[in-house]
Structure 1
């Protein structure tokens, strides 16, 4: 028997926006997640092909996405979120013309060193 429209879900609607209730929920449950995460969420699910891009409850999917981002930030305090967020919201240097350098990896910026991030993730999953 084929699934009904409700059972198979729907694509993310183009009108998807964070409501006041969702914003209140995020302030309480995902306080460290930057708002650029919602733009990454929308881009990801809009680009997801076929049945992978279908969900029954987009608000619940957004809440789960925010929970995962909050957990990542808590596990890796130096990690500023997804690579998209790192590009969109770069880490500011202590002084306008001064760039802090990673103490472990020459040529990398402190706080956004991809090599340090990869080592932290590998240690956490290993």
Structure 2
């Protein structure tokens, strides 16, 4: 009952799946002319090989019980299947060539899918690193606001520096000391209204400009002490909405960078879907 072919087949247990492509026309053509119990034994042997992913190295008694028949009937049918080449009797057990082809194709598809997954993960890692780098290098809104407030504390916008004025006098006149002029600041008036038209010309929409005007008024009315005193509130308002325009531009650039990264990830997702469809590959 042994065949001359004694080569060992590799183990395909890692490539087993709970389903297999069953081509009914090929199967019917292969079992045509066989009796019912022969078809049953042949079908059970094929499914056992598909389920285990390796040759069947069980005893004839055990195989006969799996097929639901007596040992004598099983051995008779098995000899017929081996003679017709439907079952290979190898040194490592019973095997089938069609099962081997299915396992080999499935192993190749799994390897391709694994490679595609690793490539996709590497691309996503590079994209995330690039985006994180952009986020780390761009200053946050809190940092920008803190920097702007510090600038206002150091030199209030619209306030001229103290200027020493020297007057030339004849040599015989006494030397006069230099005089300095200083301007006193005041709080934001309760009826203050920002220049909306100027903010729109700089780049804000009318809705954004009016919203910034409201924030500006609430912010400075809530301030107390020396920090709430300004000499030129028009200049302070101008610097306020210009900083807002710069912040909006930086956010727009950041969103563009994130959008380009999302498109690349979407392409990778389409590649993964293609390889998932390969699992249902049908051999011609």
TM-score, length-scaled by structure 1:
0.51
Q: Which has the higher helix share?
A: 2
Q: Provide Cα deviations, 1:75-101, integer angstroms capped at 9, x if missing partner.
A: 11289xxxxxxxxxxxxxxxxxxxxxx
Q: List per-residue Cα deviations over 1:57-79 (Å, max 9, x = no partner).
A: 11110010000000000011289
Does 1:67 find its partner at 2:242? Answer: yes
**1:11 equivalent in alignment to 2:11:** no
5+ long unaligned stretches in structure 2: 1-179, 255-261, 263-284
Instruction: For residue 14 of structure 1, give the secondary structure of its aligned residue in structure 2.
Output: coil
> How far is 1:8 from its partner?
2.7
Aligned 8 A contact 1:30 1:66 in 2? no
CA RMSD of aligned residues (A): 2.7
Aligned positions of 1:15-54 closer than 5 A: 15-18=191-194, 22-32=195-205, 34=208, 35-54=210-229
Alignment partner of 1:15: what SS? coil
Q: Which has the higher contact order (CA 8 A, sep 6+)?
A: 1
Distance 1:78 1:39 in 2: 26
Distance 2:220 2:253 in 1: 26
SS at match of 1:7: coil
- The number of residue pairs the alignment matches comes to 74
For normalisation by structure 2, the TM-score amounts to 0.24
